Amino acid sequence: MPATMDPSIAPDARSTPSLKINKEMVPMTGQPDDRAIVEALLAQHQVTPSPAEVTEFVRRYAGNRKLVESLASMPGVRYEEPAVLFDPRAV
């Protein structure tokens, strides 16, 4: 199973304990803001975009996160088999 489809991996960076978030960017709520999450994800994957690109990622992060969360919330959908299986052996 590819790592991206592993159900044990948290889909939301807010609940990923291995993500190194700059503590100075965590507001009084104790939850990191979108900028802190985006910057931590970029740093974790050693991606160094320009400041303008980071700003654009931050602007789009909340909407993208909601779309990804909606994938897991579809009733009746099973993710053990992400696609139709094809058996290449002759029948």
Integer angstrom CA distances of residue 31 from 10, 16, 37, 68: 16, 12, 10, 19
Measure the CA–CA gap between 57 and 33, rounded to whole angstroms: 13
pLDDT digits (tens, 9 = 90+) for 46-76: 999 999 999 999 999 989 988 888 877 777 6
> Is residue 87 in some structural domain?
no
Q: Are 40 and 22 in contact (CB under 8 A)?
A: yes
28 backbone dihedrals φ, ψ, rounded to 5°: -60, -20
| pLDDT tens digit sequence for 2-26 | 444 444 444 444 444 466 666 655 5
Residue whose tokens read 């974790």: 44
Looking at residue 14, what is its pLDDT? Answer: 47
CA–CA distance, 24 with 17 (Å, rounded to integer):
17
Residue 5 lies in a domain: no
Residue type, 19: L
Predicted confidence at residue 9, as pLDDT, reads 42
**Containing structural domain, residue 54:** 20-72
| Domains held by the chain: number | 1
pTM tops 0.85: no
Q: Is 43 part of a structural domain of the chain?
A: yes
Q: What is the pLDDT of residue 13?
A: 44
Whether 45 is in a domain gets the answer yes
